[in-house]
Amino acid sequence: MNRDLTVGKPGQVLVRFSVPLLGSIVFQQLYNLADSFVAGKFLGDAALAAVGNAYEVTLIYLAFAFGCNVGCNVVLSLLYGAREYGDMRTAVNTTFIASGALCLTLMLLGFLFTPTLLVAINTPPELMADTETYLYIYTGGLLFLFFYNIATGIFSAMGDSRTPFLFLMVSSLSNIGVDILFVTVGGMGVEGVAWATFLCQGVSCLCAVTAVLRRLKKLPHAPHKLFSFRLLQKISLIAIPSILQQSFVSVGNIFIQGIVNSFGTTTIAGYAAAVKVNNFAVTSLNTLGNAMSTYTAQNIGAGKVERVKAGGRAGMAIGLSISAALAVLYVLLRSVLVGVFLETPVGATLEEGMRFLLIVSPFFPILAVKLVSDGVLRGAGVMRYFMISTFTDLVLRVVLAKIFSGMLGSSTGIWLAWPVGWIVATAISATFYFRGVWNKEQAAQQADAAL
């Protein structure tokens, strides 16, 4: 069901819109969590480490897919808020065509340079074969990943966060079953984990794209085109900074993975388990930021700037509540959360993962403030402010991970870099948000457009 985010109490509107999105993230994360769970429980620490090592590379692909999602979502939200349905259809066509070309390019690069990249991040020889296999299969399914993300971006732009949630719920639960089937009955090892993800993402993508195209047909008819360079430029102005932001974060995580790899398989496996749990929380909070972007763009498109301010206050309250609950849960249950991925949940691997969560998770509320602020900035199209804080976080985490781990002579130094980066980046994002730079920039852009 399409939902107009420009009417109703902002807090209630955001909650109704965000809850299915948060549910979607739960099941989206189940893809990666299921892979690590099955690898760790049924194949051992080495398989868990291989999947975890591959995960940091897959985040680069996810960065591009997410950038296409955001660019499409923000522009379509503006058009939907302004009731410009012809341009909406043209923007959808343009996004699918341009994203398909980008995806095929990434697939080619992935098939060619995966071994080189794994050597560059100090992948231990005993993990190389399994990591390569996982990445090759994952790369082969990138078109599913891209088009699914675009479809969810379109649904969200029309205020519908429920439909993609239902598709993803079924697909994710199926992925768990297929993972276990391929590994235990089929005896396929890490390869089976990868193929299960490939198949289930494919089904989810086909269902989501079919449904979104049918939904678009129900909108009021208006003339539209197959492709528009004008709309591609608008989408790119949002998508490219988002891709760069997410890509640099992913590249930074790969550098951090290289530092982690230097401490051996035990640390790699502990980190692989803990970072999946951590990313579940981070991605959930990031989803609230995405909801803020859609809300902001729809209301700016409808000329209701005051609702953006009220929505920002509501978003902050929701984000702080969720993040505080997650922080307490992670600190108290860290042994359970890490241990669920391990074949034998005792010893150095468990302790490594628990230490990571104990250091990082108390700072989730600070991250929540950053992501809500970023959501408003991104929804208003003021991408340079949004990128400044993200790049600051990235550089600090990579540099400090290297410095702290060297100073302390242990992996604890790597984990300490996370909260420092978050604190500084949040201070920057929150300053931009509370000073209202997003509103001033929008006013200036509208004035320029009127000339």
Write the pLDDT tens digit of every residue in 363-384. 999 999 999 999 898 888 777 8
What is the rounded distance in angstroms from the CA atom of residue 48 to the CA atom of residue 79? 44
In the predicted structure, residue 324 carries a pLDDT above the cut 80: yes
Q: Is 37 helix (H, G, I), strand (E, B) or coil?
A: helix
In the predicted structure, residue 219 carries a pLDDT above the cut 90: no
Region 306-310: mean pLDDT is: 87
Res. 280 pLDDT band, cuts 50 70 90:
confident
In the predicted structure, residue 333 carries a pLDDT above the cut 90: yes
What is the full DSSP assignment across 53-71?
A: HHHHHHHHHHHHHHHHHHH
What is the rounded distance in angstroms from the CA atom of residue 354 to the CA atom of residue 361? 10
Token look-up 């609230």 returns 288
- Long-range Cβ pairs for the range 98-105 (8 Å, 24+): 98/68, 98/232, 98/235, 99/68, 99/146, 99/147, 99/150, 100/143, 100/146, 100/147, 102/64, 102/68, 102/146, 103/64, 103/65, 103/142, 103/143, 103/146, 104/143
Q: What's the pTM?
A: 0.72
pLDDT one-digit tens code per residue, 157-197: 888 878 877 877 777 788 788 888 888 888 888 888 889 88
pLDDT one-digit tens code per residue, 419-437: 998 999 899 999 988 888 7
Res. 362 pLDDT band, cuts 50 70 90:
very high
- Residue of 189, 206, 147, 185 whose CA lies nearest to 35: 189
In the predicted structure, residue 451 carries a pLDDT above the cut 50: no
Token look-up 């809850």 returns 19
In the predicted structure, residue 117 carries a pLDDT above the cut 70: yes
In the predicted structure, residue 448 carries a pLDDT above the cut 50: no
Res. 2 pLDDT band, cuts 50 70 90:
low
* pLDDT at 442 (0 to 100): 58
* pLDDT at 447 (0 to 100): 44
What is the rounded distance in angstroms from the CA atom of residue 303 to the CA atom of residue 294? 14
Res. 134 pLDDT band, cuts 50 70 90:
very high
pLDDT one-digit tens code per residue, 46-80: 887 888 788 778 878 888 998 888 888 888 988 88
What is the full DSSP assignment across 326-377?
A: HHHHHHHTHHHHHHTT-SS--SHHHHHHHHHHHHHGGGHHHHHHHHHHHHHH
In the predicted structure, residue 444 carries a pLDDT above the cut 60: no
Share the mean pLDDT of the chain: 85
Region 314-321: mean pLDDT is: 93
